[in-house]
Amino acid sequence: GAGAGDRGTGAAFTARLRVYEETMLDSTRVHCDCCRCIGWHHHPVTRKQYHFIIHSDFRTDLKPELQGKRICQLCTAALPEKEKVCTACGENDSQTSILDYQTHLMHGMLHANGCGHLKRINGREAGSRMLSGQQLIQIWEKICNLLRAREVSVEDVSQKYGVEFRLLNPVACGQTWYGTYGYAFGKGSFGNTAASHRNAAERLRGFPLEAVKADFIAMAASTSATAGAGAGVGAVA
């Protein structure tokens, strides 16, 4: 179990960590897609891999707007409670492996060769009632240290207000959120390299806030003028 404090009362909260053993004989995935993405496709296929999961503690009954609904475990869309097939992703999550769920608070995987992947961290902003993202990744770090993991990858796809967090956090803190825990640039997409990523973060960090503010003011003024012109045309018509 992993302990944490209740934000409201200060009472202790215990989260249960479950470990699932996946063997290649029973798995439908012979090759690891995460290894392929990070460039470890040359690694030999291991016979076993272990999934460390803290399941979601999210409850729809605590959200008035979600009464009579449930959350799709694959795409996190809200749908009527009796619906089996999600209208957003078209999948039936009850017929899908629990290892593919997107709603776990934490999901890390270690191959038998010592390499692994942090597949998911869903803190308070992503539905966790008690555990923060910092607490969850600290649990994962302890697991990796105790089991002497060799290398661990993570795909940083998190966003803040529609902006990639891997670019937003370096502007404020000088490095990515995962970078504070020792993760470094591994492999980029669409020709993105470590140097181009670093240069983009440095340019964003050096961009004057006054210029950003001026752009937003100009955008707001343009939007108001367009709306006003549209209203005038409608009145004449």
pLDDT value of position 211: 83
Q: What is the DSSP string of 60-115?
A: GGG-GGGTTEEE-TTT--EEETT--S-TTT---GGGS-GGG-S--SEEEEEETTSE
What totals of helices (H) and strands (E) does the chain contain, helices first?
5, 11
In the block, residue with structure tokens 């967090």: 165
User: Structure pTM?
Assistant: 0.75
Per-residue pLDDT averaged across 46-62, rounded? 83
Judged against a pLDDT cut of 80, whether residue 35 lies above it is answered with: yes
Higher pLDDT, 103 or 108: 108
pLDDT at residue number 117 = 92
Q: What are phi and psi of 30, to 5 degrees?
A: -70, -45
Task: Assign 62 a pLDDT band (cuts: 50, 70, 90).
Answer: low
CB 123 within 8 A of CB 136: yes
Note the pLDDT of residue 237.
Answer: 34
**Which pLDDT score is estimated for 235?**
38
Separation between Cα atoms, residue 7 and residue 188, nearest integer Å = 37
User: Nearest to residue 157, comparing CAs of 178, 128, 142?
Assistant: 178
Q: What integer pLDDT is reported at residue 61 of this predicted model?
A: 65
Most confident range (mean pLDDT) of 70-84, 91-105, 107-121, 146-160 is 107-121
pLDDT per residue over 122-150, tens digit each?
888 777 788 888 899 999 999 999 999 99
Backbone phi, then psi, for 97, in 5-degree steps?
A: -60, 140
pLDDT at residue 210, rounded to an integer: 85
For residue 113, pLDDT beyond 50: yes
Q: Please tell me the least confidently modeled range out of 81-90, 172-181, 201-210, 222-231.
A: 222-231
Percent of the chain with pLDDT over 90: 15
Q: What is the mean pLDDT of the chain?
A: 79
Whole-angstrom distance, CA of residue 80 vs CA of residue 71: 9
Supply the pLDDT for residue 147.
93
Q: Which of 30-34, 89-93, 104-108, 117-121 has the least mean pLDDT?
A: 30-34
Strand spans (E) along the chain: 2-5, 12-15, 17-23, 48-54, 69-71, 78-80, 106-111, 115-121, 151-154, 159-160, 163-164
Average pLDDT, integer, range 188-194: 76
